[in-house]
Structures are given as structure tokens and as C-alpha cells.
Amino acid sequence: MMRLTFTVYVTFVTICIVRSSRIHETTDNELNEKVRNIIENILQEKQITNGGEKSGRNVDMKVEYLENKFKEMESKLAEQEKTIASLKNVIKKMEQEKDKDIIIKDSNGSKRNSSNIVVEEEDTRDVDVSQLIAPERRAKRATTNIAFSAYLTHTNSHTVIGQPIKFDHVLINDGQGYNNYTGSFTAPVAGVYLFTFSIDSGKTTFVKLVVNGVNQVDVIANPHTNVADKRLSHSMGGNTAIVRVAQGDAVLVETYETADGQVSSSDTFRLCTFSGVLLY
């Protein structure tokens, strides 16, 4: 179709030139020259037009290439946003596990928690997350170290049912949870604790470890009765328990079952003991 249109156009131009030459009485040589010049101009215009079309196609190809690149960048950006969202969730969980102590700065710039303990800051630049987790857990564990141990310095020969044993001499009381006047340990923080206790008695005596009055484990001291010298007829018993307690729960050792029991101990023979430690 393009070739036919182009031929018709050339023919039409040629006819016009011939008619014009007749009017102006132009010679054959001049006519031929004019026709040749016009055809060359037309061919040049056609080449320019074809070149423009080719240039347009090149522009279209470049635009399509850029659009594809843009779509590829959008896809990568979406993947990065998903990764960032996942990391934010991890950081949020880590923050929820942090110690709830409020950290404030004092006048010299040092950071202290609610227990007035100086908190040392570590330089975490260029350190990955896995390297940060362990030091944070160590710091958290260090601010919640709780342990106590106490023993009874005297003998109580006539205990009654439900009587707390007041281990009056304190060996250690980190966290200040144990009260040697009441014999009760009040948990400063919630967690899993290990408790151990022992008694010595010259009578059959039952004791138990209780949390808020609820029995956890028991001990019985049952001395042999066929010993001639009753002063030598003594028995010891002990037990250990790992229990989960809430903050403020009261843990103690108390007698039960027998109305007239005995717990025997002294500063020389420290046989009745009560200890506990926060595990995690």
C-alpha cells in the first residue's frame, strides 16, 4: 500500500511538472532535470520519515526497558519491607522480655535502675543481633539475683500444727525476700525457684513446704524408739522442690499432722535449714 501510494504520488508530481513545463515552454532537458530533483527530494523525505519511525521504535524500546526495571525495583522493595517488618517483630519481642526496671540518668550521666544499681552500657556498634542477646540476658539475670539461706539456732520441743519454723540466723539474703522473724520468704519477682529444707527431731515430726498455704512437698523425722538413751534418739529429714511462684507469694516451712512435735537445732549443730534461689 505504501509503495502504491508513493508511485501514484510521483506520477502525479511528474504530470504536474509536465503541464507546468508546457505552459512555460520548458525544454526536454530542463523537464527531466526537474523531475529527477523532485524524485530525489521525495526519496530523501521518505528516508527521513523512515528514520524517524526507527528512532521512535528505539524510544519505545527504551521506555519498555525502564518500565521493566521499575517493576523489578518495586518487587525488591516489597521484599525488603517484609524483611524489615519481620525484624521489627523480633525487636518488639526482645523489648517485651527486658527487665521492667525504669532506668534513669543521674547527675553525672550514669544510668541507674529502680534498685539504684548502676547499669553499664556496652558499645553495640557493628554488632549483630545474636551477639546482643546473650549480654542482655546476663544483665537482666544480674539485676534479679535472688537467693537466701538460713538455719535455726535453738530447739523448739513442743510445736503445734500449722506452726511456721522461724529459721532465725540468716546466711545470705540477696533480694531481701526472706524474713527471719516470721520464717517466710516473700518472692520479690515472679519466677521458677528452687527450695530446700531439712529438720532434725527427737520426736516424730511432720513438716511441709507451703506456698501461700498450699502444700508442695513434705518431710518426716521419725527417730528410733528402741534406743536406751532417748537423747540419742534423733532423726533427720529433708526435701527439695522446684516451683513456680508469683511476685508476692509467701513460701515457708511449717509443722503439721502431729500436735506435739519437735525441731532440734543450735548454733553448734545447724541441723534445721531453709534455703531458696531464683533459677529463672
The CA–CA distances, whole Å, from 246 to 33, 122, 179, 217 equal 112, 31, 17, 18
Q: Which three cell numbers stand for residue 268?
A: 553448734
Mean of pLDDT over the chain: 77
pTM of the model: 0.50
- Domain residue ranges in the chain: 2-77, 97-143, 147-278
Give residue-wise pLDDT tens across range 160-208.
999 999 999 999 999 999 999 999 999 999 999 999 999 999 888 999 9
Distance of CA 21 to the CA centre of its chain: 96
pLDDT attached to residue 109: 56
Burial zone of 276 (CB within 10 Å; 0-12 exposed, 13-18 middle, 19+ buried): buried
pLDDT attached to residue 23: 47
**CATH, domain 147-278, list 1.10.10.60, 2.60.120.40, 3.40.718.10, 3.40.605.10:** 2.60.120.40
Across the strands, what pairs with 277?
A: 147, 194
From first to last of its 280 residues, what are the pLDDT tens digits of the chain? 544 455 555 555 555 555 555 544 445 566 566 656 666 666 665 555 555 566 667 767 767 777 787 788 888 888 888 888 888 888 877 777 765 555 555 555 555 555 555 555 545 455 455 555 555 554 455 458 999 999 999 999 899 999 999 999 999 999 999 999 999 999 999 999 999 999 999 888 999 999 999 999 999 998 866 556 656 678 889 999 999 999 999 999 999 998 889 999 999 999 999 999 999 9
